[in-house]
Structure 1
Amino acid sequence: MSTQNIHLERNAFGQLLLTDADGKGHAITPVRAFPIAAPTENIGLINAEGAEVAWVARLSDLAPEPRKLLEEEMANREFMPVIQRINSVSSFATPSTWDLETDRGPTTMVLKGEEDIRRLTSPALLIADSRGIHFLIRDRYALDSHSKKMLDRFL
């Protein structure tokens, strides 16, 4: 299905529906192939059975309305705050409580172990807290010096 022909709407239950070329409706879930490296590219539209119904190479290829619906749906599904500053850590031994500033506001997280800090494509890091929330650091070198100093103790 061409991205030009994608028709999306919400049903009465708030589900995202895709109408295919044959006029058949599919309740879909958008799934990013590369959520961190290329969040606006390569998005599969998956039906309730787990089959891919359509593929979006780039969100920018879509008309404004379906693009807006997909962006809203993915924002509701994916919760990955981006760490902007590390204010303090309770201890340099784990578990430790981190006081953070994120793109979603101030918060705290508990780092259970250093193995919960995963190195992604340099210079990005993904940190899982004790509640299962994943925090992203897009560029650890772009953090302020205080945050880098705190983070370096765990790397």
Structure 2
Amino acid sequence: MTTAFELQRDQFRKLVLTDADGNHHYDVSPVRAFPIQAPTQGISLVLENGQEVAWIDDLADLKEEIRQLIEGELEGREFMPEILRIVSVTSFATPCTWQVETDRGNTQFVLKGDEDIRRIGKDSLLISDNHGIHFLIRDMFGIDKHSRKILDRFL
């Protein structure tokens, strides 16, 4: 696998990109173009001012060490737990508290209003809690029956 750039961390743990011409770009950040539908595809490496210095079609096409640096940076910046199961809700009227199991562990959050549940594509939902944290339900039709029943009351 060849890449038109090299990537490493500097002494301050910031990403430094060295392009094919040998130019160094300091403090670059990866940004996903499609964070929910295609999280490993379409990733831009940008400078602090938003200028793009590299484009990645797919993380799988990168050398392992570069891919790990980018994935580590993305994990540190993005926090979007995926809801695996809805355990309970305190009420079917909002605001209400949801008890959920996520890919990051069990938690609870307050849903302020029905408008805080948004459809993303045909199968996914994005739920915002009262603190602005976004929770993802990747496949609302593939979730367990109990969770689906609760969801149906809010959709």
Q: Do the structures match in fold with TM over 0.5?
A: yes
Where in structure 2 are the equivalents of 1:1-155 lying within 5 Å?
4-26=3-25, 27-155=27-155
**CA–CA separation in structure 2 for the residues paired with 1:18 and 1:132:** 32
Task: Compute the RMSD of aligned alpha carbons.
Answer: 1.3
Segments of 4+ in structure 1 off by > 4 A? none
Counting aligned pairs with the same residue, the percent is: 59
Offset of 1:23 from its aligned partner? 2.3
Distance 1:141 1:95 in 2: 24
Paired residue secondary structure (1:135): strand
Structure 2, unaligned stretches of length 5 or more? none
Once residues 75 and 93 of structure 1 are traced to their aligned partners in structure 2, the CA distance between those partners, rounded to angstroms, is 34
Asked whether the equivalents of residues 6 and 66 of structure 1 are also in contact (C-alpha less than 8 Å), the reply is no
Instruction: Provide the C-alpha distance between the structure 1 equivalents of 2:114 and 2:135, rounded to a whole number of angstroms.
Output: 14
| Distance in 1 of aligned mates of 2:108 and 2:151 | 15
Deviation at residue 21 of structure 1 after TM alignment: 2.2
Deviation at 1:22, TM superposition (A): 2.9
Residue type of the alignment partner of 2:79: F
For 2:45 and 2:57, locate their aligned partners in 1 and report how far apart those are by CA, in whole Å: 11
Instruction: Please state whether the residue corresponding to 1:109 is helix, strand or coil.
Output: strand
- SS of the aligned residue for 1:68 comes to helix
Q: Which moved more, 1:133-142 or 1:23-32?
A: 23-32
Please report how far the alpha carbon of residue 130 of structure 1 lies from its aligned counterpart in structure 2 after TM superposition.
0.4
Number of corresponding residues: 154
